[in-house]
């Protein structure tokens, strides 16, 4: 399931300014963002982005504000046109679609969830959720049935006839998600979908998304500036900074092997025990551990293992996956993995971001 590439971004450049083509080659040859702005008056939005997004996975694009993440996601459905490069969806370059084909792709191929919900204020929740189907020209009956189904699924039974302004932020975003799901498109773009919600509601919404994803296996592209959120949701994590990809990998790998000080500093504040899983730090082996204190699952978090061990560092565990032994976990290794390679040094982040 994870190996089919659904969306593939190739050598994507986006330059803002009067004549982006003129400075494209300079950007290609590595001229820095500040130099391009000062000498040529153009702003590099994205620089040489290459990302593969697998079918049925959640690809999280994370970066601070100004890193170009919202610009990047808008290239997927061409709300923003790239200066150079390709965006392949199922092998078709969307940058070359005609206006009609593009509209068709937006109607059936992709749906989008927005940070500020962007619901139609003059339509009821039910009509909002059925928007995608109405745009396609389906009748009210059909659109409403389908919309009702998804509204129930996101937990909004009984709110069909309300107007968006009568709902709380979290509920409005549920409508936003139902609207995206009703379109029944294989790809879902989520642009900081939970960033405007307060933390408790945000956790609820993340759980909702994970639960939906368990059944639906959509290809989700999720934008966020929140590292905890990205580690929770991501199958594949892409970290953007100043318009280029700093590192992309499975989140566990990024946590264990940060590519540069910027990311190292970024991940140093994370509760590693909760995020890291047994599989990432175990020693692969088909034999059970000597003096095994018991079996643990391949996908357990380190937090749960620590709880089981009662804090003892002397034990080791046998790691099982679907009943088979796949490795050994020594508690000493676990403790080592909890310490970031570089403990958060004061000033590192300040130097990197400013």
Q: Is 139 in the site for another protein (CB under 8 A)?
A: no
* One of 7, 44, 110, 246 touching another protein (CB under 8 A): 110
Closer to another protein by CB, 104 or 152: give it. Answer: 104
Q: Give the whole-angstrom CA distance, residue 139 versus residue 196.
A: 33
* One of 26, 79, 270, 306 touching another protein (CB under 8 A): 79
Least distance to another protein, CB of residue 155, Å = 22
CB neighbour class for 336 (10 Å; exposed up to 12, middle 13-18, buried from 19): exposed
Sign, CA torsion 33/36/37/43: negative
Mask 144-173, x = binds another protein (CB under 8 A)?
---------------------x--------
Q: What angle (nearest 5°) sits at the alpha carbon of residue 30, between those of residues 29 and 35?
A: 120
* One of 19, 25, 35, 104 touching another protein (CB under 8 A): 104
Least distance to another protein, CB of residue 134, Å = 8
Q: Is 105 in the site for another protein (CB under 8 A)?
A: yes
Closer to another protein by CB, 165 or 214: give it. Answer: 165
CB 243 within 8 A of CB 47: yes
Sheet holding 324-330, edge to edge: 283-284, 324-330, 316-321, 292-297
Least distance to another protein, CB of residue 73, Å = 10
Closer to another protein by CB, 28 or 116: give it. Answer: 116
* One of 30, 122, 141, 310 touching another protein (CB under 8 A): 122
Q: Is 189 in the site for another protein (CB under 8 A)?
A: yes
Q: For the stretch 237-254, what's the b/e string if a residue is b when 16 or more beta carbons lie within 10 angstroms of its beta carbon?
A: bbbbbbbbbbbbbebbeb
Q: What is the DSSP letter of 340?
A: -
**Helix extents (H) in the chain:** 20-28, 33-40, 69-76, 99-104, 125-129, 131-135, 140-153, 169-182, 199-216, 227-233, 251-256, 261-267, 272-275, 278-281, 302-309, 331-338, 348-353
Least distance to another protein, CB of residue 266, Å = 29
Q: Is 138 in the site for another protein (CB under 8 A)?
A: no
Helix axes 199-216, 169-182, angle to 10 degrees: 20
Closer to another protein by CB, 118 or 306: give it. Answer: 118
Least distance to another protein, CB of residue 119, Å = 8
Least distance to another protein, CB of residue 162, Å = 13
Q: Is 116 in the site for another protein (CB under 8 A)?
A: yes
110-113 vs 187-191, strand pairing mode: parallel
Q: Stretches 12-20, 28-36, 130-138, 331-339: which one binds another protein (CB under 8 A)?
A: 130-138
Sheet holding 43-54, edge to edge: 43-54, 5-16, 84-89, 92-93
Going from the C-alpha of 344 to that of each of 114, 251, 264, 293, 332, the distances in angstroms are 33, 19, 8, 33, 22
CB 142 within 8 A of CB 114: no
Q: Is 131 in the site for another protein (CB under 8 A)?
A: yes
Q: Is 183 in the site for another protein (CB under 8 A)?
A: yes
What Rg do the C-alpha atoms of the chain give, in angstroms? 23
Closer to another protein by CB, 16 or 114: give it. Answer: 114
How many residues bind another protein, per CB under 8 A?
28
* One of 11, 25, 39, 135 touching another protein (CB under 8 A): 135
Closer to another protein by CB, 119 or 234: give it. Answer: 119
Q: Residue numbers of the site for another protein (CB under 8 A)? A: 77, 79, 102-108, 110-112, 114, 116-122, 131-132, 135-136, 165, 179, 183, 189
């Amino acid at each position: 399931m994870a190996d089919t590439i659904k969306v593939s971004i190739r050598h994507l450049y986006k330059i803002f300014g009067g004549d982006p083509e003129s400075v494209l080659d300079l950007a290609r040859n590595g001229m820095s963002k500040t130099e391009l702005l000062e000498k040529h008056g153009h702003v590099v939005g994205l620089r040489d982005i290459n990302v593969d997004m697998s079918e049925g996975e959640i690809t999280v694009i994370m970066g601070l504000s100004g890193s170009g993440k919202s610009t990047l996601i808008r290239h997927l459905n061409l709300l923003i046109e790239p200066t150079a490069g390709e965006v392949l969806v199922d092998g078709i370059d969307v940058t070359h679609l005609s206006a009609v084909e593009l509209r068709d792709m937006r109607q059936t191929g992709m749906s989008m969830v927005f940070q500020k919900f962007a619901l139609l204020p003059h339509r009821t929740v039910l009509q909002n959720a059925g928007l995608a189907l109405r745009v396609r020209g389906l009748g009210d009956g059909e659109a409403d049935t389908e919309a009702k189904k998804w509204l129930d699924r996101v937990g909004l039974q009984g709110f069909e006839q309300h107007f968006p302004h009568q709902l709380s932020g979290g509920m409005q975003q549920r409508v936003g998600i139902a609207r995206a799901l009703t379109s029944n498109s294989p790809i879902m773009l989520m642009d900081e979908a939970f960033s405007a919600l307060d933390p408790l509601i945000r956790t609820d919404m993340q759980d909702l998304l994970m639960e939906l994803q368990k059944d639906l296996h959509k290809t989700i592209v999720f934008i966020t500036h929140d590292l905890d959120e990205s580690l929770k949701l991501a199958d594949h994590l892409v970290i953007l900074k100043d318009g280029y990809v700093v590192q992309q990998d499975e989140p566990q790998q990024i946590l264990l092997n940060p590519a540069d000080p910027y990311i190292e500093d970024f991940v140093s504040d994370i509760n590693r025990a909760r995020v890291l899983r047994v599989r990432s730090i175990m020693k692969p082996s088909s034999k059970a551990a000597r003096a095994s204190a018991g079996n643990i699952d391949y996908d357990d978090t380190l937090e749960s293992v620590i709880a089981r061990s009662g804090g003892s560092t002397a034990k080791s565990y046998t790691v099982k996956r679907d009943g088979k032994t796949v490795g050994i976990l020594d508690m000493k290794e676990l403790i080592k993995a909890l310490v970031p390679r570089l403990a958060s040094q004061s000033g590192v982040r300040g130097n990197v971001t400013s």
